[in-house]
Amino acid sequence: MIGPAFFMAGFAVGAGELISIPRATLLFGPDILWIMLLACVLQAFINLEIVRYTLVTGESFQLGASRLWRPAGIMWGIANILNWIWGNIYAYSTGAALALIFGGPVPAWVAFCYLIIVAIVLAPKWIYYAVEKLLMVCVFAAVLASAVIAAIIGSIHPSYAIEALVGNVKFGVIPRAVDPFVLIGAAAAAGAGGTGNLWYSYITRERGYGMGGAIVGRIMGLRGKIEPYAESGFMPEPTEENIRRFKGWWSVAKKDQLCWFLMTYAGILLFAVAIYSGLKPLGKVPAGLGLLLEEGKIFELVIGPVGIPLFIAIACIWLWSTQIAVIDCFARMNSDVLYTHFERARRYSIRTWYYIWIAVIVGFGLAIIPLGTPEVVMNLFLAILGLTMPFYGAFLIVMNNKLLPKPYRPSIICNIAMVAFTIFFSVMTAAVVGPMLVPRR
């Protein structure tokens, strides 16, 4: 049943983990890596709390939020659009990386990446299952390849590799010159980030997790038969049998999130070690894809001419798998919000809305190809993800403790984790927003 973990890991490790976090490590030193570790741990806990309500009722986080406060579901739907409509950075980065390997115009490669992704979501009978299996292969291959790269490059300058590893446990140490804008983006990137964490509610339900997951219905592809899609779930009575069933599903979810954490943080740590130990001794801090290119040159010195294309190809696997997951989940969440919140939207099938939103995000991504993906856009995108997170952290604390019967509610430890998550990203948000509100002299 461990499947959503690969889906989550597929889109959790993207441009932020491959570029933003390693570059932040080069700029401010490896002492910031403990912040990435903490952010990843807290996001694992918050993912569990996001799925708690879904495991019990079969309803998404957004629908549960609307039961607490009517406008909330729409609000999070809008936040999802604002968070991820700029998610073309993954397709653009993949296209730019492929252009480095094979030559040719970047826009053509970006369009090619989108074309393959659209084919993937159009072709299968059951969209989720096909995407999950594809991401499972991509994640396994990318983690193993990243481990080999980190070991090879780390062996060239072992003292720097060790320094990067030690930075993971230097809790409480914050470099003086650290930029909070870059830091909150990197912390958000240490996991799904932004409303991306809320997607866990949808993919676990689509996989059939929970006591009400099977009654909602699945989003089928063009080759599949449209299934009835429930506009709401149900609240099971806290009987002895239902409590036993909930505990069983909660155990599955915990194992799934442990798997997600291990894969996601492995991707973060391995690339941080490889890039820090490879580029720090040279005094280089390149921006954007230049970071991967310079690291590929070091890899080339070790294994020969195939070093650069091989290194960039591995990065492409991470980036492209992220774009697939982003497009699917963006469309999945927005379709559900419309279908469950607006009666008129139910005139059309959930599949119709899913493909409409696919067209929106792909069309927007193609339209802004000429803009490229400058570093400032990437940092802004990641910072927006981080700024969203304390709000749904606070919302979850109230929602899971108020709407659910006592036997299904969070434990003390889970409540502490939600509070810690909310405080952590609130502090990050204050560090970014605060200076903007104080007039300069």
Sequence-distant (6+) residues with CB within 8 A of 197 are 43, 46, 47, 50, 191, 389, 392
CB 326 within 8 A of CB 91: no
The CB density around residue 84, as the number of other CB atoms within 10 Å, is 25
Q: How many residues does the chain have?
A: 441
Per-residue pLDDT of 69-128, as tens digits, reads: 989 988 888 888 988 887 777 888 888 888 888 889 989 999 999 999 999 988 899 999
Q: Is residue 324 part of a domain?
A: yes
90: CATH: 1.10.4160
Instruction: Give dist(CA 260, CA 334) in Å, integer.
Output: 24
Positions of E strands within 228-358: none
User: Using the 8-state DSSP alphabet, how is residue 19 labeled?
Assistant: I
Q: Is residue 233 part of a domain?
A: yes
pLDDT at position 288, please? 67
Domain containing 52: what range? 4-436
Per-residue pLDDT of 392-411, as tens digits, reads: 999 999 999 999 999 999 99
Number of domains in the chain: 1
Q: Is residue 34 part of a domain?
A: yes
Q: Is residue 106 part of a domain?
A: yes
Confidence of residue 338 (pLDDT cuts 50, 70, 90): very high
The CB density around residue 33, as the number of other CB atoms within 10 Å, is 26
Q: Is residue 64 part of a domain?
A: yes
Burial class (CB in 10 A: 0-12, 13-18, 19+), 261: buried
Q: Is residue 333 part of a domain?
A: yes
pTM for this predicted structure: 0.90
pLDDT at position 388, please? 84
pLDDT at position 438, please? 52
Sequence-distant (6+) residues with CB within 8 A of 434 are none
Q: Is residue 441 part of a domain?
A: no
CB 401 within 8 A of CB 410: yes
Q: Is residue 301 part of a domain?
A: yes
Whether the pLDDT of residue 433 is over 80: the answer is no
pLDDT at position 137, please? 87
Reference 262, options 168, 172, 191, 194; nearest CA is 191
Per-residue pLDDT of 241-285, as tens digits, reads: 999 999 999 999 999 999 999 998 998 898 889 889 988 898 878
Reference 389, options 174, 171, 253, 185; nearest CA is 185
CB 216 within 8 A of CB 205: yes
List, in sequence order, every residue forming a beta bridge with 126; answer none if it has no partner.
Answer: 220
